[in-house]
């Protein structure tokens, strides 16, 4: 099927909106124009209160009209019943006479729809989300413009699959942005800088804490795009740790840690690890290693305090976590702590719930293999 030049340009705008949320607003104006209409909106309808979303709408939806709808008109909106009948892939039409008997005499028509210039409406279902909500597009024309033509209906039908793909990608990117924000927030809460590298040691990303550490000392820096240390011996060790971490699945060596002096009484701890799956999802297949940077405290945290900070544990839960990590059984810890085995089992259930584990073995593997535990505790381990 040949696509006209203006339709090709419109599809380009659709996919451009995936990466730029602000681009959805001018997009609906272009869609309305392409379909011979003055009004258009794209939104998500959900039966769950608070889950519906207006993604973008044309300028006739003024802030005042939108506020009036949210405060009053949505309670008596017959279009909502009409929208519920729209399923992904379908295309339906209506007008203000057929939508509901007496609608043109109602307050919502005279105080809302009439001001929007809505008389003829064509709606199309775009896609159904995982939570059951449905994304729709509505195209509106004034009475004097007449209903949408068959040619324009075909153009809308051609547009819908591309809108579905774009909205699906939009949701995926939004989820990744949220995960990325959560990861960065967690690192900042631990006073850790993080730098993502590719397999050749080139910097792909540095969080704000990592950038600050790079700026405020001269030993560790980025040269020719690669993370380097000033001292030849230390630089060789860092390069080897990065190489080990980047090839962990092949060589079985998961990186390691080194400590360098950056001032007379200050050292910088550098821990190099393979990229966790969650981080790789955010930075693509080229992400191979992650470097955690921190200045160890003058008085290192004990392991149980480190675990408490990392997982949000109570003091009692943290002491049990430390005992399990050190190889004690529940019965041994109960005897050492002077509490009943049932109390320890209850603590253990809460501990596993907070750390996301179901067995003691999985918890211990996570603690012993988690680079953040050692970094938080200031254990001073070296490769």
Q: What is residue 381's predicted lDDT score, i.e. its pLDDT? A: 32
pLDDT in tens, 173-205: 877 777 667 666 666 656 678 898 887 788 998
Residues 211, 293: contact at Cβ < 8 Å?
Answer: no
Query: What would be the CATH architecture of the domain defined by 5-177?
Result: 2-Layer Sandwich (3.30)
- C-alpha distances out from residue 266 to 294, 297, 383, Å: 11, 9, 20
DSSP state of 143: G
DSSP state of 202: B
The domain ranges of the chain are 5-177, 190-296, 299-383
3 state DSSP class of 196: strand
Q: What is residue 251's predicted lDDT score, i.e. its pLDDT? A: 44
Is CATH 3.40.50.2300 the classification given to domain 299-383? yes
Same fold, 5-177 and 190-296: yes
Q: What is residue 159's predicted lDDT score, i.e. its pLDDT? A: 93
Instruction: Please choose, from the candidates 353, 381, 204, 329, the residue with its C-alpha nearest in 3D space to the C-alpha of residue 279.
Output: 204
- Which element (helix H / strand E) includes 256? strand 256-263
Measured between alpha carbons, how far is 186 from 178 in angstroms, rounded to an integer? 12
Q: What is the CATH number that goes with domain 190-296? A: 3.30.450
Q: What is residue 18's predicted lDDT score, i.e. its pLDDT? A: 87
- From first to last of its 383 residues, the chain has per-residue pLDDT tens of 567 788 888 989 998 888 888 899 999 999 999 999 999 999 988 877 767 888 999 999 999 999 888 888 877 787 777 777 788 888 888 898 888 888 888 888 899 999 999 999 999 999 988 888 889 999 999 999 999 999 999 999 999 999 999 998 888 887 777 766 766 666 665 667 889 888 778 899 888 889 999 999 999 999 999 999 999 999 999 998 888 888 764 444 566 888 898 888 788 989 888 876 655 555 555 788 889 898 876 555 567 777 787 788 888 988 888 888 877 889 888 988 899 999 999 999 998 888 887 788 778 777 766 655 654 444 433 33
Give one DSSP letter per residue of 9-32, joined into a string.
HHHHHHHHHHH-GGGHHHHHHHHH
Measured between alpha carbons, how far is 235 from 225 in angstroms, rounded to an integer? 15
């Amino acid at each position: 099927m040949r696509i006209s030049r203006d339709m090709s340009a419109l599809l380009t705008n659709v996919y451009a909106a995936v990466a730029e949320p602000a681009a959805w607003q001018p997009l609906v104006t272009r869609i309305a124009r392409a379909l011979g209409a003055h009004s258009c909106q794209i939104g998500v309808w959900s039966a769950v209160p608070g889950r519906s979303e207006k993604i973008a709408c044309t300028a006739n939806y003024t802030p005042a009209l939108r506020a009036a709808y949210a405060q009053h008109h949505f309670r008596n909106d017959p279009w909502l019943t009409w929208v519920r009948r729209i399923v992904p892939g379908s295309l339906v039409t209506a007008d203000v006479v057929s939508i509901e008997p007496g609608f043109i005499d109602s307050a919502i028509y005279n105080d809302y729809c009439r001001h929007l210039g809505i008389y003829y409406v064509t709606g199309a279902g775009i896609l159904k989300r995982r939570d059951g909500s449905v994304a729709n597009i509505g195209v509106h024309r004034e009475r004097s413009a007449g209903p949408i033509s068959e040619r324009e209906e075909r153009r809308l039908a051609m547009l819908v699959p591309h809108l579905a793909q774009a909205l699906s990608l939009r949701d995926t990117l939004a989820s990744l942005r949220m995960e990325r924000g959560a990861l960065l927030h967690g690192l900042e809460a631990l006073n850790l800088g993080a730098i993502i590298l590719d397999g050749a040691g080139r910097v792909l990303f540095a969080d704000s804490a990592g950038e600050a550490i790079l700026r405020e000392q001269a030993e560790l820096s980025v040269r020719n795009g690669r993370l380097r240390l000033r001292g030849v011996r230390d630089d060789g060790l860092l390069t080897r740790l990065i190489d080990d971490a980047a090839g962990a699945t092949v060589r079985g060596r998961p990186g390691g840690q080194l400590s360098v002096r950056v001032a007379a009484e200050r050292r910088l701890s550098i821990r190099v690890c393979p990229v966790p799956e969650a981080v790789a999802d955010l930075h693509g297949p080229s992400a191979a290693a992650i470097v955690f940077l921190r200045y160890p405290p003058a008085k290192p945290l004990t392991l149980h305090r480190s675990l408490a900070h990392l997982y949000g544990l109570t003091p009692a839960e943290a002491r049990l976590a430390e005992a399990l990590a050190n190889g004690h059984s529940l019965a041994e810890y109960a005897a050492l702590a002077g509490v009943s085995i049932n109390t320890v089992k209850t603590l253990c259930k809460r501990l596993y719930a907070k750390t996301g584990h179901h067995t003691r073995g999985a918890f211990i593997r996570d603690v012993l293999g988690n680079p953040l535990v050692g970094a938080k505790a200031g254990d001073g381990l070296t490769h």
